[in-house]
Structure 1
Amino acid sequence: MRYIGVDLHKTNFVVCFLSEDDNYKLETFPLSKAGINRFTSELSKEDAVAVEVTQNIYYFYDQIKTYVGRIVLIDTYRFAIIASSKKKTDKADAQALARFLKLDHLPEVPVPSEKVRQLRHLLQARETLVGLRTKLKNMGHAALTRNGIALLRSAFASGVARERLRTRDDLSAADKVILESALRQIAELDKEIEQLEAEIVRLGKTLAGVKRLLQLHGLNLLSAISLLAEIGDIHLFETSKQLVAYSGLATSIRQSNQTSRQGHITKQGRKRLRTVAIRAVLSMVNRTNTPLMDFYARKKREKGSG
């Protein structure tokens, strides 16, 4: 059996082949069809591979998964040997991955299903477009403010409201051009976001657990799909505490002797899951009157907010 560490990049990948007797070989392959074919030709079903999680990780994973016995996807930021290494080279990283794979001491990332992968990509694209739309709205508000016009956020919320802004004639010439540019781009982004949301709903409405989540009054379909897509396979978590820790929502603890203090949430986990969960709760807080929201309000009074 060999332990293989892979440092994956956009155009190539560096590989360390480590044998049972600690002999190793370093080799670099181009990230192309020919390069991957050459790499897989050297693999066997007894091999184990450890590879860093990068943007193209699932492409690489799909290409080699049938050629080896085990593939371990690594969260590099939690693997301090690489994240804080003073010798940060591709060959050193590949060698470290191989050696710690042999020790079975690597922070492993679960591999989501193909549907979950596609949903995560779509959700990330939607989040990017929503962020661009927010920047454009801020640009429009800035143009209005420079002319002594202070409006609520709802001024850009709908097509009707934006059409009223388009007809204003109390802006300077430059700010009029800026506002019209922002309004045009916002309208186009609305269409693109709508198309992405339609595809997200089409793919995600059949996810196990969607109907149960929708029983939470105030949680919409898009939020429910987002939560389930970011969680992935719920069966990986034996307890709710494990899921809370995975999302980084567990409170930090400082304990010494008989003193124990709890601090803020750790934020050590899947950031997008944490963000989706927090947004989902905040969207329900002021819209519903349920036992869950009563619990939230009670905890907020006890512990404060912020």
Structure 2
Amino acid sequence: MRRVIGIDIHRTFGEVVIWENGLTRHEGRVEMTRTALEGFGRQLKKTDEVVIEATGNCMAVSRVLSPHVKRVVIANPLQVKAIAHAHVKTDKVDAATLASLHAAGYLPEIWMPDAATERMRRLVARRYQVVRHRTRIKNEVHAILHAHLIPKCPHADLFNKRGRDWLTRQPVPEDERAAIARHVRELDRLGEDLAVLDRDIAQDAIDDEAIQRLLTITGVNLTVAAGLMAAIGSIDRFNSPQKLVSYFGLNPRVRQSGLGPAHHGRISKAGRSHARAMLVEAAWAAAKAPGPLRAFFIRIRARRGHQIAGHCQLIFTRPNEA
């Protein structure tokens, strides 16, 4: 007899509802600790199916419960919300919705990465956070200089040796000078963290054949290639290049009504924003390197402007044949 267990996961607890024979019943709560989840898992049957939504701790919950049940399914929360709009929203209702949708075959599942892909995703995400933090700090230094009417640094990089020497000679108040010094020390620390993350990513990625193929594309470095493959995971799960393009949010919006013509707009941006940001980085790097991609960029820029050219370069270099 089939049973589906829906769990609405929160940070500290999960609300449990069991679907059986077309009926649902509330089974209380389980704490979001390894010990509590293992105890809960031992109470389940090997034929049970567990359904949870994609959250920050869903993979850990899946790893703990998987040995005790037939399958753990992770649902796409945005698509679940679109399918099952409810006027009453509680934890019990959400858990029952998950169980009922899966039992009926309507649950929008997400792909579960293997351990190596999950590790690469974590490394790439941490690197992205460090880079963003470093960019914020640099912008704060530039804002201090702008607030005190300091002209633009004559050197290519404000934060290399020559740029820092120039920075120390600028007439700013003592409190601002101390703030700049703190920011520079933080940049050095983040640079060390970034070097460690780059080393770990390179060690995991250097022997990957798919990454090696991506490295043959102009503008794609090891970090970008590793990030793209971490986002893609198994290329076999995409049955067409268009599916992969949509996963990255690079497919254009389409509007059509009745028998009128279809109008294509900007890209949807509905996919993985981090991976799309890496593609943007690769596209701009390709636009600066000599070759056919730069020639394509220059032609589009001459006809339609700088921003449109950058967008077209991104579409032209998207990984639809990875």
Flag whether TM exceeds 0.5 (same fold). yes
Which residue of structure 2 lines up, in the alignment, with residue 282 of structure 1? 284
Secondary structure in structure 2 of the residue aligned to 1:65: helix
Does the 8 Å CA contact 1:162/1:183 hold for their aligned counterparts? no
Structure 1 unmatched ranges of 5 or more? none
Which residue of structure 1 lines up, in the alignment, with residue 188 of structure 2? 187
Q: Distance in 2 between matches of 1:181 and 1:84?
A: 49
Q: Distance in 1 between matches of 2:113 and 2:189?
A: 32
Q: Distance in 2 between matches of 1:111 and 1:54?
A: 13
**Deviation string for 1:47-85 (max 9, x for gaps)?**
222111111111111111122222221111222258854
Does the 8 Å CA contact 1:18/1:25 hold for their aligned counterparts? no
Shift of 1:43: 1.8
Q: From the superposition, tell whether residues 289 and 220 of structure 1 become closer, same or farther in structure 2 (CA, over 3 Å).
A: same
Q: From the superposition, tell whether residues 87 and 279 of structure 1 become closer, same or farther in structure 2 (CA, over 3 Å).
A: farther
Bigger mean CA offset, 249-258 vs 49-58: 249-258
Shift of 1:182: 1.2
Q: Distance in 2 between matches of 1:273 and 1:214?
A: 16
Does the 8 Å CA contact 2:5/2:48 hold for their aligned counterparts? yes
Which residue of structure 2 lines up, in the alignment, with residue 11 of structure 1? 12
User: How does 1:75-224 map onto structure 2 within 5 Å?
Assistant: 75-80=76-81, 85-152=86-153, 154-158=156-160, 160-224=161-225
Secondary structure in structure 1 of the residue aligned to 2:223: helix
**Deviation string for 1:85-136 (max 9, x for gaps)?**
4433211110110110111112211001111111111111111111111111
**Deviation string for 1:164-195 (max 9, x for gaps)?**
14531522222211211111111111111111
Which residue of structure 1 lines up, in the alignment, with residue 55 of structure 2? 54
Structure 2 unmatched ranges of 5 or more? 312-322
Q: Distance in 2 between matches of 1:240 and 1:89?
A: 39
Q: Distance in 1 between matches of 2:91 and 2:190?
A: 40
Q: From the superposition, tell whether residues 14 and 300 of structure 1 become closer, same or farther in structure 2 (CA, over 3 Å).
A: farther
Does the 8 Å CA contact 1:7/1:94 hold for their aligned counterparts? yes
Q: Aligned AA for 2:8?
A: D
Secondary structure in structure 2 of the residue aligned to 1:17: strand
Which residue of structure 2 lines up, in the alignment, with residue 63 of structure 1? 64
Q: Distance in 1 between matches of 2:144 and 2:78?
A: 41
Pick the aligned partner of 1:264 from 252, 266, 274.
266
Q: Distance in 2 between matches of 1:83 and 1:184?
A: 50
Bigger mean CA offset, 9-18 vs 170-179: 170-179
Which residue of structure 1 lines up, in the alignment, with residue 242 of structure 2? 241
Does the 8 Å CA contact 1:73/1:108 hold for their aligned counterparts? yes
Q: Distance in 1 between matches of 2:298 and 2:111?
A: 35
Q: From the superposition, tell whether residues 265 and 171 of structure 1 become closer, same or farther in structure 2 (CA, over 3 Å).
A: same
Q: From the superposition, tell whether residues 241 and 298 of structure 1 become closer, same or farther in structure 2 (CA, over 3 Å).
A: farther
Q: From the superposition, tell whether residues 303 and 70 of structure 1 become closer, same or farther in structure 2 (CA, over 3 Å).
A: farther
Does the 8 Å CA contact 1:76/1:82 hold for their aligned counterparts? no
Q: Distance in 2 between matches of 1:170 and 1:270?
A: 44
Q: From the superposition, tell whether residues 146 and 25 of structure 1 become closer, same or farther in structure 2 (CA, over 3 Å).
A: closer
Q: From the superposition, tell whether residues 46 and 181 of structure 1 become closer, same or farther in structure 2 (CA, over 3 Å).
A: same
The number of aligned residues is 304
Question: What is the root-mean-square deviation of aligned Cα atoms in Å?
Answer: 2.2
The two structures have a TM-score, normalised by structure 2, of 0.87
The two structures have a TM-score, normalised by structure 1, of 0.91
Bigger mean CA offset, 95-104 vs 261-270: 261-270
Does the 8 Å CA contact 1:5/1:17 hold for their aligned counterparts? yes
Does the 8 Å CA contact 2:17/2:27 hold for their aligned counterparts? yes
Q: Distance in 2 between matches of 1:106 and 1:303?
A: 43
Shift of 1:283: 2.2
Shift of 1:145: 1.8
Which residue of structure 2 lines up, in the alignment, with residue 26 of structure 1? 27
Which residue of structure 2 lines up, in the alignment, with residue 2 of structure 1? 3
Shift of 1:239: 1.1
Shift of 1:155: 3.3
Does the 8 Å CA contact 2:26/2:92 hold for their aligned counterparts? no
Shift of 1:295: 4.5
Does the 8 Å CA contact 2:7/2:15 hold for their aligned counterparts? yes
Q: From the superposition, tell whether residues 171 and 21 of structure 1 become closer, same or farther in structure 2 (CA, over 3 Å).
A: closer
